[in-house]
Structure 1
């Protein structure tokens, strides 16, 4: 275990965790965890979009006895905050995914473990599975080129006790991550995607002159809607699609009878100038018309952001970078602190807006910001 397990003095918010982590992480890890695609417009726009939504509180409403509980996939959650899948967490802190999992469990938050975790999926599940108060435990899946390996990975997740598969659908290839390229990003020795050990190499394709290594090679293995049907036939677990922004894709997901959707632009890490998740969420919620849960991630930094997401129809939210910065700062304690801060801020925002529960939010809670006087 690392000695970096004490909360830094003065770190009292998620933005403060980020600012402190900038001095804790080396340039290689900072480029990976903090960077985005291309000019990073989407990376910056995600939090700004939540900030731009104004809360219109109601006063003198009875809020005593309120709570933050929500229901999700047949489970009652103490609050609507989950940890999004983030790869290679041992780059941020030696405790890596185990630290994040223990913190999530202690704070009753859901956890989505990345396919590219730097800790075996079984070890993460073993660390928290028996905790009766933990949140949901889900496994994020990147479909690999070998179907037999995919089935083996699914069986491992099922046997370990994961309760859903979260299929990332918005990254058939990596984004143009200028910050990583400028830093010469590389995985440090001893850190790898351990759950992909044993994956057979991709079959080599002979490319004729002028052919594209992307379109004529790599993208032959990219998933399509046909693979969604195949995946659902291979597992007893609900399949949640992560990376949905367009309402037509949401409607197709309803037709495919998936278990849920996550409105996400991959934290601005794949394609730059995508819609912000705050702006994309309402149309996706309308498209599914209550037929399945819709979660959202991207740019959530305050409890007010969580409340706004719920007011826009989200079933729950996920955070990514904020808890990684907490992990970098203080290991499991830092992750727990991030979750607790966000939940406390959510309760405060609810109380000050006259919202007793997340199921009974006041009408007209969200509106455009007031225009400054001329």
Structure 2
């Protein structure tokens, strides 16, 4: 046919509408060795994939004709309101994705009104990260910590974090040894030149003398234990003590017995022991075991606002994300992280409104069903 108008796209550049859009851009911008370092998990990567796919078996049960014109997605963490129940996990080596690294991330978090955990392997000091966002808005930080062979270094890290104003220690408990990450071995992955590690007091040249795995293995101790770590942390600092890397009711029970303030249900983004349960599937038994004695948060595989909603419906008080921050940094630095957080905020609030929830307290197991093999959706 002739004389008919030819459709033209509204924009030459595809809009960024979701986390997957950000990831696609980031994957193109990052080198293969860096991209795979961030994206890969351990061994066959069963857990790294199931962390995300496990969310898909849960279905939303919306309530309709509810006035949600004043829906409020905010919540309280460390005695301060945050705009919605999502914070940034302690992901290291952020300056590989963008030169501003953690400085860009903390500024974006302050602008969005949420909190952030600082990795031991951050490329900027905890002091600089805290200071970078001070002129934007209030933000609280946790300091992530491994059990180190050098106890004096570990103590210095704790004291620096507390002096800088951090609210909590996130003791990473799932890393007695480092998981086997095939990609790092195949490429002999080493930290790029020029990246510093001020929190663990290692220079770029010192880090590059060995592989990333070699550096981590040389620093961390496999002699950690509940009786050794938690009482010691309590004795040397006044910050809250959280255990990150819990996947079972038994360990939640121990965390409560040892007086921990909270746990983060986490499998290290699938980068440690491959084949462990997806965090969203481990969450219900951990919440049940906590019995309100300590706070239960979750990370791993969260890619949409609906995922945040599902985690809250299953009992989490707050969610944490890691890889989406890396992708957002690679996409567009601080502006990219802001974009990513704005997308998740909008998705989460819309999910609340479309399910008839006006507050975080309205999100319960009644909001979810689970897919069954015989067809009907089962209520939780």
Check 1:57–1:341 CA distance in 2 against 1; reply closer, same or farther (3 A cut): same
Which residue is equivalent to 2:52? 47
Residue aligning to 2:170: 166
Mapped pair 1:58 → 2:59: no
Match of 2:28 in 1: 23
Partner of 1:368: 370
- The answer on whether the counterparts of 1:109 and 1:339 sit within 8 Å (CA) in structure 2 is no
Matched, 1:343 2:348: no
Aligned to 1:320: 322
Q: 2:224 maps to which residue?
A: 223
Return closer, same or farther for 1:269/1:362 CA change in 2, 3 Å cut-off: closer
**Shift in Å at residue 184 of structure 1?**
2.7
Q: Please name the residue that 1:80 is paired with.
A: 85
How far apart, in 2, do the equivalents of 1:342 and 1:180 lie? 31
1:123 aligned partner? 128
**Residue in structure 2 matching 1:192, options 179, 193, 196:** 196
> What is the distance in 2 between the residues matched to 1:373 and 1:70?
36
Gaps of 5+ in 1: 1-7, 202-212
Counterpart in 2 of 1:260?
262
Mapping of 1:130-149 within 5 angstroms? 131=136, 133-149=137-153
Deviation at 1:193, TM superposition (A): 2.1
Alignment check: 8 A CA contact 2:91 2:118 kept:
yes
Contact kept, 8 Å, 1:120 with 1:195, in 2: the verdict is yes
Q: 1:53: how far off?
A: 0.8
1:127-168 Cα shifts (integer Å, max 9, x gaps): 12454x434211111121122221111111111111111111
Q: Per-residue displacement from partner, 1:103-150 (whole Å, max 9, x unpaired)?
A: 11111121101011011111111112454x434211111121122221
Structure 1 pair 221–45 and aligned structure 2 pair: CA distance change class (3 A): closer
Quote how far apart the aligned CAs of 1:169 are: 0.5
Equivalent position of 1:236 in the other structure: 238
User: How many residues are treated as equivalent by the alignment?
Assistant: 351
Alpha-carbon distance in 2 for matches of 1:272, 1:138 = 26
Q: Distance in 2 between matches of 1:57 and 1:97?
A: 38
- 1:63-98 CA deviation, whole Å, 9 max, x = no partner? 221101112232222211100001111100111110
Aligned to 1:273: 275
Q: Helix, strand or coil for the counterpart of 1:76?
A: strand
Closer, same or farther in 2 for the Cα pair 1:114/1:218, shift >3 Å?
A: closer
Counterpart selection for 2:37 from 25, 32, 41: 32
Cα distance per residue 1:32-72 (max 9 Å; x no partner): 11110000000110111112111111111222211011122
Secondary structure, counterpart of 2:272 in structure 1: coil
> Judging changes above 3 Å, is the alpha-carbon distance between structure 1 residues 90 and 278 closer, same or farther for their aligned structure 2 residues?
same
Aligned to 1:205: none
Match of 1:196, SS state, is: coil
By relative contact order (CA 8 Å, sep 6+), the higher-ranking structure is 1
> 2: distance between equivalents of 1:373 and 1:288?
33
RMSD: 2.1
CA distance in 1, matches of 2:135, 2:355: 37
Cα distance in structure 1, aligned partners of 2:358 and 2:373: 29
Partner of 1:334: helix, strand, or coil? Answer: helix
Q: Does the CA contact (< 8 Å) of 2:143 and 2:161 recur in 1?
A: yes
Residue of structure 1 equivalent to 2:96: 91
The alpha carbon displacement at 1:186 in A equals 1.3
- Taking structure 1 as the reference length, the TM-score comes to 0.89
Measure, in 2, the Cα distance between the counterparts of 1:138 and 1:50.
26
